[in-house]
Structure formats: structure tokens, C-alpha cells
């Protein structure tokens, strides 16, 4: 939302001071938000639309993840969060506790705490997923650590692996503990063939 728009909304609200206190709101364009290229096996990128640092609401985190053709969003789970995932482009499979479910544009997936889940893009072209975690899950911090900053005006980089750095791995494990990312032994097996805690 531009500052001009925010000022216009504020001006309208002052004309109606007798109304109840409104909650926050936001409008994001397709490329609005901090964006990072992601390592294999998913490839693609994630654009952070709404995080506790960028929006005056700490109950949610919302983002768009793009998984390249043949890519995998590795099996993982959350101790403290519920997650809504809406597929709006592409075809593939979501595995929940190793049970396969086909997904296509318009599919909505919900996973609660301690549900092992991951996606495989089996269609032609990218799979695009809009997701919300409730409460905010720290996904944005993980992406900042393992990804590379993305500028939509620049070409996509060559596929790259997750950084193999003991210090980074320790930071990721600490982050997993703080944010409530479940460890593999707290959930049934996944189904994508790729598991990670962070």
C-alpha cells in the first residue's frame, strides 16, 4: 500500500470518528514483498507478503511460494502453527503424514500442528502456492538464511544447493526451537522423499 493510499484511508476515517476502531488492512501487488530465490530441491522463490516485521499484526505470516517444475517442498511440520495453503497455479501432490493427495489450481490444504507435509510439483511449469501460518511461524527467517535475495527484474539464477555451513546449520536449529518447527521424530513419516526440520 502506498503512503498516499494510507493517507487517504486515514483521512476518510477521521471523517467518521464515531465508528468503532478499525483493524489493520493491507493490499499487496504480485511482486510486493521481500523475495528470495530458494535452493534445491524446490527451486523457485518465496515472496513474503505479510510478516510480523512488515505488518502491524503478529498473528499471521503470509507468503507466496513458487516451486519449479519437478521441484519439491520438503516434508516438514510445525509444533505451534496451523497452516492454510492455496494452490493457484500448477498441478502435483501434497503429502500429509505420507498420504498422497492430488492438488491443482483452486485446491486448499489445511495442516494442523505436528502434521508432516510437503508438495511435489508434477505438472508442467511452476506450482504457485499462497500460504498463511497462524500464528506467524518464523518461515521468513529460514528463507532469509537459506535463500538468496530476489529482484523480479533480474533473471533467475542457476539452481543452487542449500548452504552447507555448520554455523548456519546451528542457527537454523536454534531458529527451529524458537519458532516451533517440529523435529522428524515428533511426526509420522513424510511422503516427498525429502525431509528437513529447517
130, part of any domain? yes
43, part of any domain? yes
Residues 44-54 pLDDT 10s = 999 999 998 88
Residues 38-78 pLDDT 10s = 999 999 999 999 998 888 776 889 999 999 999 999 999 99
Other beta carbons within 10 angstroms of residue 159's beta carbon come to 14
Q: Indicate which CATH number applies to the domain containing 38.
A: 2.60.120.10
pLDDT at 71: 95
4, part of any domain? no
72, part of any domain? yes
6, part of any domain? no
112, part of any domain? yes
3-state helix, strand, coil in the chain (%, to 5): 20, 30, 50
Confidence of residue 88 (pLDDT cuts 50, 70, 90): very high
Q: How many distinct structural domains can be found in the chain? A: 1
- The β-bridge partners of 82 are 134
| 11-25, 73-87, 90-104, 129-143: least confident range | 11-25
51, part of any domain? yes
pTM, rounded to two decimals: 0.89
40, part of any domain? yes
pLDDT at 163: 87
Q: Average pLDDT over the chain, rounded to whole?
A: 91
Rounded Cα distance, 54 and 5, in Å: 17
Task: Report whether 106 contacts 118 (CB < 8 A).
Answer: no
Phi then psi for residue 161, to 5 deg, are -85, 160
Range of the domain at 122: 30-151+158-186
Q: 1 pLDDT exceeds 60?
A: no
Amino acid at each position: 500500500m502506498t503512503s498516499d493510499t494510507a493517507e487517504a484511508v486515514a483521512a476518510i476515517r477521521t471523517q467518521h470518528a464515531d465508528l468503532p476502531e478499525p483493524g489493520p488492512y493491507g493490499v499487496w501487488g504480485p511482486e510486493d514483498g521481500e523475495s528470495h530465490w530458494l535452493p534445491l530441491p524446490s527451486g523457485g522463490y518465496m515472496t513474503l507478503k505479510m510478516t510480523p516485521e512488515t505488518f502491524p499484526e503478529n498473528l499471521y505470516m503470509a507468503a507466496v511460494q513458487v516451486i519449479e517444475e519437478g521441484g519439491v517442498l520438503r516434508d516438514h511440520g510445525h509444533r505451534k502453527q496451523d497452516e492454510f495453503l492455496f494452490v493457484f497455479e500448477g498441478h502435483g501432490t501434497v503429502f500429509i503424514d505420507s498420504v498422497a493427495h492430488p492438488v491443482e489450481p483452486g485446491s486448499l490444504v489445511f495442516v494442523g500442528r505436528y502434521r508432516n507435509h510437503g508438495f511435489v510439483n508434477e505438472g508442467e511449469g511452476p506450482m504457485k502456492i499462497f500460504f498463511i501460518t497462524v500464528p506467524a511461524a518464523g518461515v521468513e527467517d529460514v528463507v532469509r538464511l537459506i535463500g538468496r535475495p530476489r529482484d523480479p527484474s533480474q533473471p533467475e539464477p542457476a539452481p543452487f544447493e542449500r548452504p552447507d555451513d555448520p554455523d548456519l546449520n546451528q542457527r537454523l536449529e536454534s531458529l527451529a526451537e524458537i519458532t516451533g518447527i517440529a523435529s522428524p521424530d515428533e511426526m509420522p513419516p513424510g511422503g516427498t522423499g525429502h525431509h528437513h526440520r529447517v
